[in-house]
Chains A and B, each alone.
Chain A
Amino acid sequence: MILIAVISLGAIGAIGAALLYATSKKFEVIEDPRIGQVQEVLPGANCGGCGYPGCGGFAAACVKADSLDGMLCPVGGAPVMGQIATILGKEVASAEPMVAVVRCNGTCAARPRNNQYDGVKSCAIASTLYGGETGCTFGCLGYGDCVAACNFDAIHVNPETGLVEVDEEKCTSCGACVKACPKNVIELRKKGPKSRRVFVSCINKDKGAVARKACANACIGCGKCAKECAFEAITVENNVAYIDFTKCRLCRKCVAVCPTGAIHELNFPPRKEAAPAATKPAAPVTDATPKAAEAPKVETKEETNQK
């Protein structure tokens, strides 16, 4: 009795094992072992910032590609790319570190609310419904779709200003927030030497008077900054200025001439003669000789806050 059971079970086991072995041989997927190795050094966040479907996709693309030009894991940055290059025996392409920049400085104080949104707190839903709670239909809505999209806890809504702020220590420039923002407020910009950068913190395309009425900190497209810029880095189109970060030399003259304080400078050392800033940029807007690399000499008597 026991024998029959043992034999029959054993036979079933043997047949099953044979079947499994045969199928696994027949349908075996041969994968380049290097894909696994590359994937191992990747951060594993699957953020899609590289443009491939997850870290696995990026690893496969790296192995397949002839050179690593144009391939960048924005999260891991140069160190991880270097590791990948060693694994694959390829040259690593140098990449400029980037960071997400929120181009809106319409704080609660500067941009009065004229209605009260009572729908789902989602930027995507609110923006398809209407222009927003303020007179400005371009700026940050503050419902935090980008916060939800960020895998690295690097972007948060500041309840005081009603705007989102990027934590540049944590930001990996994966671009998830850029895609999530229905208003295209967020842009990936060059991080800059010592994280120093200058940008127009407004994308309001309304005419100057309308924009100014909606928000005290709006760019009114006056063009003073463009005239001031010696490097043709600033263009004014559709009533709004834009600083091309590939041309900007961080001289900060534009910051000084902006009548609304819409141009922000970040992480510069304080200028010598401290003057009250127009708004609340991250670093106080002052008149001083910048010590930034590449920055040319700057005049020291500029009005920051023209009335």
Chain B
Amino acid sequence: MENKLYVSPSPHIHGGDSISKNMYGVLIALVPAFLVSLYCFGLGALIVTAAAVVFCVLFEYLIQKFLMKKEPTICDGSAILTGVLLAFNVPSNLPIWIIAIGSLAAIGIGKMSFGGLGNNIFNPALTGRIFLLISFPAQMTTWPEVGQLTTYADATTGATVLSLLNEGALDKMPTLCDMFLGKMGGSLGEVSALALLLGMVYMLWKKIITWHIPVSIFATVFVFTGIMHLVNPAQYASPLVHLLSGGLMLGAIFMATDYVTSPMSKSGMIVYGIGIGILTTVIRLFGSYPEGMSFAIFIMNGVTPLINSYMKPKHFGGK
């Protein structure tokens, strides 16, 4: 027979899902948040996002090509996603050279040093962000005020909700409605809870993520800060303020749900979400940093292997 038949073990069909489909799916889910950041920060948002994406893809290509000596896989969308998430986690007036350093830390340290996509322990974008936060605390914690569409590096900066909270200036807070829609200072992707929630709905619909991680984070933060608010309303803000402020939405929906660094079983995802919620709240309320989302996710990333080995999926027929 000149026409040799293929032989392989079953199954003989594949669902057609692929890594790049998932990555581009997340990118699509980030579009609403990006539009809001364009509306809020204009030129700055565009420059920072573009720079982060370009640097991340470039570093991934160079490292794969020349250090790891293998076929670069920049087309799978994971480097683009890292770039976008990194950009969403920094102020919109961050100089390009700092973004380049952040991208190198994200791709080089966060991802490639472990062996590339799938082998990293920590979320690459978060690695880059924390690297920058510790190295350039001044630049990383002054956020431009909303509405300066044509400025970039010279934008005037203002306080964020969380820094106000940390200073105890509860009276200068924006309204909950403004916070929900995005009329507040902050990193460029995190300002609008509405846009981020839209992204979450899209990802749930496309089955890119399951509800377990974001919902358990929201619930934990809500309950924990709610208790503190009830104990002392003057010192601690209401749980809604905590939910809508800072990087909580962005972190819970897009960073904590990163496939590689989150647990695999549903019970594990809930434990992971609760852990992030508690750590975030503890850092926000009692720590010296105003925002704790990044550190909380980062710490729980480290705990993930442990969760994976203890929280097994629900077994058919019970134990």
Is A116 in contact with B9, judged by CB distance below 8 angstroms? no
Does B19 sit at the interface, judged by CB under 8 A? no
From 113 to 171 in chain A, residues with beta carbon under 8 angstroms from any chain B beta carbon are: 113-120, 125, 129-130, 133
Contacts of B6 in A (CB 8 A): 115-118
Contacts of A120 in B (CB 8 A): 9
Nearest CB in chain B to that of A118: its residue: B8
Closest-CB distance, B4 to chain A (whole angstroms): 5
CA of A277 to CA of B1, assembled, Å: 30
CA of A125 to CA of B7, assembled, Å: 12
Does B5 sit at the interface, judged by CB under 8 A? yes
Number of interface residues of B (CB under 8 A): 7
Of all A-B residue pairs in the complex, the 10 with the closest CB atoms, nearest first, are A118-B8, A119-B8, A116-B4, A118-B6, A119-B9, A115-B7, A115-B5, A129-B9, A116-B6, A115-B4
A-binding residues in B (CB < 8 A): 1, 4-9
Contacts of B8 in A (CB 8 A): 117-119, 129
Contacts of B5 in A (CB 8 A): 115-116
CA of A113 to CA of B4, assembled, Å: 8
Is B9 in contact with A114, judged by CB distance below 8 angstroms? no
Is B4 in contact with A118, judged by CB distance below 8 angstroms? no
CA of A129 to CA of B6, assembled, Å: 13
CA of A48 to CA of B311, assembled, Å: 35
Contacts of A116 in B (CB 8 A): 4-7
The 12 sampled A-B contact pairs (Cβ below 8 Å) are A114-B1, A115-B7, A116-B4, A116-B5, A116-B6, A117-B8, A118-B7, A119-B8, A125-B9, A129-B8, A129-B9, A130-B7
Contacts of B9 in A (CB 8 A): 119-120, 125, 129
Closest-CB distance, B86 to chain A (whole angstroms): 36
Given contacts A118-B6, A119-B9, 6 further A-B contacts (CB under 8 A): A115-B7, A118-B7, A119-B7, A129-B7, A130-B7, A133-B7
Closest-CB distance, A136 to chain B (whole angstroms): 15
Contacts of A133 in B (CB 8 A): 7
From 220 to 243 in chain A, residues with beta carbon under 8 angstroms from any chain B beta carbon are: none
Give A95-125 as 1s and 0s: 1 = Cβ < 8 Å from B's Cβ atoms.
0000000000000000001111111100001
CA of A96 to CA of B8, assembled, Å: 43
CA of A130 to CA of B8, assembled, Å: 9
Closest-CB distance, B154 to chain A (whole angstroms): 52
Most A Cβ at <10 Å: residue of B5, B6, B7: B7
Closest-CB distance, B14 to chain A (whole angstroms): 12
CA of A114 to CA of B9, assembled, Å: 17
Contacts of B1 in A (CB 8 A): 114
Nearest CB in chain B to that of A117: its residue: B7
CA of A117 to CA of B6, assembled, Å: 6
Closest-CB distance, A111 to chain B (whole angstroms): 14
Closest-CB distance, B3 to chain A (whole angstroms): 10
CA of A119 to CA of B5, assembled, Å: 13
Nearest CB in chain A to that of B1: its residue: A114
Contacts of A129 in B (CB 8 A): 7-9
Closest-CB distance, A80 to chain B (whole angstroms): 37
Contacts of A113 in B (CB 8 A): 4
CA of A177 to CA of B5, assembled, Å: 30
Give A245-277 as 1s and 0s: 1 = Cβ < 8 Å from B's Cβ atoms.
000000000000000000000000000000000
Closest-CB distance, B13 to chain A (whole angstroms): 13
Contacts of A125 in B (CB 8 A): 9
Nearest CB in chain B to that of A133: its residue: B7
Nearest CB in chain A to that of B12: its residue: A118
Closest-CB distance, A217 to chain B (whole angstroms): 21
CA of A116 to CA of B7, assembled, Å: 6
